[in-house]
Amino acid sequence: MRGFEKVSKEEFLKYQTEAIYDNIKLPERKTKNSAGYDFYLPFSINIKPKERIIIPSGIKAYMASDEVLLLVVRSSLGIKYGIRLLNQVGVIDSDYYNNIDNEGHILIALENTSNEELKLAAGERIIQGIFMKYLISDSEIKPHNSRSGGIGSTK
C-alpha cells in the first residue's frame, strides 16, 4: 500500500495561496514501464543563475514501513538546464508521513547551476519519485527512536 495525497490546506498556506492549493496535481507515471512518479510544479517559477529555491509540492506520500520514496530531478531538467536537487537524492522515509511538524509535506530544494535564468510554468514536471523496498542488516542494533517531527528531526 503506497500512494500520494495532498497536504492539508492549512499546511500548504504556510507557503502559498489557496488558489494554488486547489490546482495541486498528484504525481503520476507517464508510461506503463516508468519507475518514477512525476511531480508537477504547483506554480510558475523563475530560477536565476546559481540560485537555490525551495518549492512546496503540496504532496505527502504514504508507504509500507519497509519502503522508501526516493526523489530525483528529472533527467531533462538536469541535462538540458543544469537544475539539481540540493540534497542530490531526496529520501522520504515511511515515518515522515503525517509527522507532527509538517504532515510529511514534500519540499523540493532546487539549484540552478547554469548561467541562464530558467523559467518553469505551473504544471511542468520537475522531479520524479520512486518507491522502493529496502533491507536492513542482520547484525544491526535495533533503533528504538521514533520520528518526532519533519525535516531534520531524526538524530
* pLDDT at residue number 142: 78
pTM recorded for the entire structure: 0.90
Q: Name the DSSP letter for residue 44.
A: -
Residue 94 and residue 33 in contact, taking contact as beta carbons nearer than 8 Å? no
Report pLDDT digits (tens) over 103-119: 999 999 999 999 999 99
**Is 29 within the bounds of a domain?**
yes
* pLDDT at residue number 152: 60
Residue 155, pLDDT above cutoff 60: no
**Is 155 within the bounds of a domain?**
no
Residue 87, C-alpha cell as written in the block = 540534497
**Is 153 within the bounds of a domain?**
no
User: What does the CA dihedral 125, 70, 89, 106 come to, rounded to 10 degrees?
Assistant: 60
CATH of the domain at 105: 2.70.40.10
**Is 143 within the bounds of a domain?**
no
**Is 152 within the bounds of a domain?**
no
**Is 150 within the bounds of a domain?**
no
Residues of the domain holding 11: 3-133
Residue 106 and residue 12 in contact, taking contact as beta carbons nearer than 8 Å? no
* pLDDT at residue number 139: 87
Report pLDDT digits (tens) over 6-16: 999 999 999 99
Domain count, the chain: 1
Report pLDDT digits (tens) over 65-75: 999 999 999 98
- Note the Cα 136 to chain centre separation in Å: 24
**Is 103 within the bounds of a domain?**
yes
Please state, in angstroms and rounded to a whole number, the distance separating the CA atoms of residues 110 and 120. Answer: 12
Cβ-based neighbours of 10, under 8 Å, separated by 6 or more: none
Cβ-based neighbours of 27, under 8 Å, separated by 6 or more: 4, 37, 38, 39, 40, 59, 128, 129
Residue 126, C-alpha cell as written in the block = 520537475
* pLDDT at residue number 141: 80
